[in-house]
Every structure is written in C-alpha cells, then in structure tokens.
Structure 1
Amino acid sequence: MLIGGINTFSMIDYPDKTSCIVFTVSCNLRCPFCHNPEFVLPEKIQEIKNDLIPQKVFLNFLEKRKGLLQGVSICGGEPTLQKDLFDFCEKIKEMGFLIKLDTNGQDPKILNELIKNKLIDYIAMDIKYPFYKYNEMLGVKNLNIESYKKSINIIINSNINYEFRTTVIKGFHSIEIFEDTVKEIKGANNFFIQNYQSGKTLDNDFTGKSFTNKELQDLQKIAYKYINNVGIRN
C-alpha cells in the first residue's frame, strides 16, 4: 500500500465510530477543487515518496490502538487503485477493526469483490456532478461513465452501510446541476451535502465558494425528492 498520511483519531469520518484515517496516494481523476493534490498529482507524489508510510508501520500503530479505535477509514487519492488493497483490508479485519472505504466509484469490480468477501463495512462514494458533466469538470477525458453507474447499483443493492455525498461549490453547482446530480442516485438510503471549504486546491486558480446555511437547506429540500435520508456537512 502506498500510504501518504495518517490521521490517528477521528470521531466524524466513520459515522458513529471512532476511527483513524489512511490516505492512499494516486487518483484517476484531476478534480480542480481537490484538497489533497499531494496524494493525486504524480509530480507531487514524487516529492513525498521518501515520506510514504510503510504498511508495517501503520499495522504496528493499529495494533496499539486495539480497544481505542473501532474502525479504519481508507481514503485517498483513490484507494481502489492500490494493487494490494485486498490484502491490506484482510490484515485490518483480522485485527478486529471495521473498515470504511471512500471511493469515487471508478472500479465496480473491486467494490463488488470487497463486499462479497466481507472486507469492508461501510462505503462512502462521491457523486461529484451529474455524469454528463464528468468529462468536462473532473480534469480527465473519456471516463468510463458506465463504471460509475455500476458502482452506484452495487452499493445500493449491497447489504452494508453506505452513503453517497456531493461537495457543493457555489458557482459550479447550480440548482439544476445539483438536482441532476442527485437524480443519479435516486432511491439511495443516505446522501450528504458537503459544503465546499476554501483552502489549497489541485488547481491553484480554482475560485469556488461556499454556500450559505439557507442555500444548503434549499438544496436539501431538493435532494429529499429523490433520497430517503439527506444530511448536511457544513
């Protein structure tokens, strides 16, 4: 596993669980608003290659957290690009921890295998825009949109806890674009609207802004037309 960083304790990343967060490196997308460019851009990854955390070091850390942590959140980057993800999850599960996987949904086959082999307990999948905007807005051309649709179907029909989530950015997510985004996951159980926060971004010239609380609540009302449970993370 190529581990770029670890957050040793979180009470919010894994819903209702105490967890640590593992940040894997590499991603198939180039979202201009991404806050983790050091884990995405090859030239940035090259700069931190000597600081990558060996898997053994992380597992030793986890061994000492038995009884203190309930779960491990694996995010990135995009974790499903890691060749030894299955082995990594198996080792964590053998230690008695729950696993939450954060993904953009780029590889439905891997998601299906992880679920089938009971290697993950919670999935959080990002729905960034309606799929007709993906090739325009995510910095990569010729994405296989059907793969993302298959991932949604696999997650919704799985027997594990899950959430879909969209980071909404003022100036980029109009009411129409937001509603079309939510339609992509119509019938899902859980959806979270995440308000964009300014900070470092993959594109240094990115100019997105946050929504107001009132505007977020208006978006929530729209989402409720399609989703059973809709939360706001401001």
Structure 2
Amino acid sequence: MQKHPFKSEGVRQELPVGGYIPQSFIDYPGLIAAVIFTVGCNFRCPYCHNPELVDPVRSGGNHQIPFHDVVRLVERNRSCLDAVVVTGGEPAMHESLPESLRTFRKLGLLVKLDTNGSYPDMIDLLLRERLVDCVALDIKAPLQSRRYEEVIGIPCSGAMMKCIERSCSLLLSSGIDVVFRSTLLKGIHASEDVDAMAAVSGNRLVLQRFRPDRTLRPLAAGVFSDGELHALASRFNCVICSFGL
C-alpha cells in the first residue's frame, strides 16, 4: 500500500477534519449529505480552492475539529441525512479513513468519497469492504507525467501515473456510482486534453469551471467561457458542472 503521510506507528490516529457542513444538497446529487473536509493533500494544485486544507500552516494555522465531535454532530442530525461526503484535501492519504467510514456505515448512511486517485490501494480496500457507495475522482490532466506536473504543482513520476490509472480501472469495474471530474484551466488545457481525459474516464467526464477568486497560489490560467465549455462538452460527450459532485 502507498505510504500514508499521517501514519504514526503504535498510535491510533483519528481522521483529521478541517471543516464540516451539516447539510448539503449538492455534494451527493439527489441526497442530503453531511460534508467532512479532511486536512492534508499530497498534491499542490495552484488552482485549489481549499488552500487551508491543503497547506494549513501556510494558510494561517491548522484548526482541526476532533473527529468524535463530527460523529456526534452527524448522529444528532441523522434523521435529516441520507449520506456523508468525505472530501479534502485528499482523504485517501489517511490510514484512519476506513475506520472512519465504518463509523458512518454503522449509522446507516451512504458514503461518497472525493479523491485525486493517487492512493489506489486505499481505494481497493474501501471497495472490497464496501465502505463507499459513490466516488468522485479528479483527473487533473492527460495521464502523462509532464502534463500532470503542470497542474498538480509537484514532481510527478511514471509510478504516480500508474497509481491513478489503477484507481480509474478499479472504479470503472466496481459497479458503484463513479464520477470523473476535471477542472479546466484556459491556457493549460486544450481540446485534445479533454479528449484524453474523457477516454480515461470511460466517457463519464464532468467538466468543472475554474474558480480564480480563491486559490492555493497565483497561476497564469484563465477561465473558459460558457460557450467554450459547452462546445467542449458537446464535442467530447461530457457534462458541465460548476459545483460539487
């Protein structure tokens, strides 16, 4: 299994939670879900709109919510919920994720996971134990090391590309609900990139609009217009979405 950065030998770790929404009507389409934001990410995508989760120290501190407090809030609101969405950051980098999801399973809730796909062993475990009902995987660029490096802000090896390929394959064959998402950056992504990303996703790609108002760091990228997005979606059989899925 991939190394988990927040693993501490001999110490039971709780899922590090940096944010919580009691009820959302958009993060798990068709259902009412509590949304849990985990702290930490192995990527440094400059366009990320949750910088305080990706790099909490740089963003002014690491203000975490104890996981047991989150569970208590979910339990209190259980009668108004269908599901829990665990997003980030990158939830799959935490070895405590499976046990955390088991807690929500015991409450009878559906579970959706948002991930960048770089921890396929974790995804495999969650699928085998039936701990997730829906997974949204963000495809950053065509699965080539150089292209991924342009988007995720860190060096990217061939091994990383194989990890993401494996995650895509696991999800496509899983039988659960799967969404593949790509945030398009004008000046970085071209039409042929959308074609390549759609192919990796089994032609179920959702195009997301870049939100330049709040990012991890400044970047030289623009926003595709509505007309440009619709043209790309029509050409490559994609769906457009401007909010969480």
The Cα offsets for residues 152-202 of structure 1, whole Å up to 9 and x where unpaired, read as 0000000111110111122221212222222322x34x3211111221211
Residue 22 (structure 1) aligns with: 36
Residue 187 (structure 2) aligns with: 171
Contact between 1:129 and 1:181, CA under 8 Å: does it hold in 2? yes
155-164 or 133-142: which moved more? 133-142
Counterpart pick for 1:77 among 60, 77, 89: 89
Distance 2:199 2:133 in 1: 25
**Partner AA of 2:234 in structure 1:** K
**Partner AA of 2:73 in structure 1:** F
Q: Indicate whether 1:55 and 2:63 are aligned.
A: no
Distance 2:133 2:51 in 1: 27
Residue 113 (structure 1) aligns with: 125
**Partner AA of 1:170 in structure 2:** K
Q: Indicate whether 1:142 and 2:156 are aligned.
A: yes
Number of residues of Structure 1 aligned to a counterpart in Structure 2: 224
Contact between 2:118 and 2:163, CA under 8 Å: does it hold in 1? yes
Contact between 2:33 and 2:82, CA under 8 Å: does it hold in 1? yes
Contact between 1:6 and 1:20, CA under 8 Å: does it hold in 2? yes
Residue 111 (structure 2) aligns with: 99
Residue 240 (structure 2) aligns with: 232
Specify every segment of 5 or more residues in structure 2 that has no aligned partner in the other structure, as ranges: 1-14
TM-score by length of 1: 0.91
Distance 1:219 1:43 in 2: 38
Q: Indicate whether 1:7 and 2:21 are aligned.
A: yes
The Cα offsets for residues 24-71 of structure 1, whole Å up to 9 and x where unpaired, read as 0111101111111111125237x433x200011000000111120111
**2:78 counterpart SS class:** coil
**Partner AA of 1:213 in structure 2:** D
Q: Indicate whether 1:213 and 2:226 are aligned.
A: yes
Residue 227 (structure 1) aligns with: none
**Partner AA of 1:129 in structure 2:** A
Distance 1:149 1:102 in 2: 16
Change (3 A) 1:18 1:104: same
8-17 or 130-139: which moved more? 130-139
Distance 1:59 1:114 in 2: 19
Question: Structure 1 vs Structure 2: percent identity of aligned residues?
Answer: 32
147-156 or 8-17: which moved more? 8-17
The CA deviation at 1:208 is 2.7
Counterpart pick for 1:181 among 183, 190, 197: 197
Contact between 1:197 and 1:209, CA under 8 Å: does it hold in 2? no
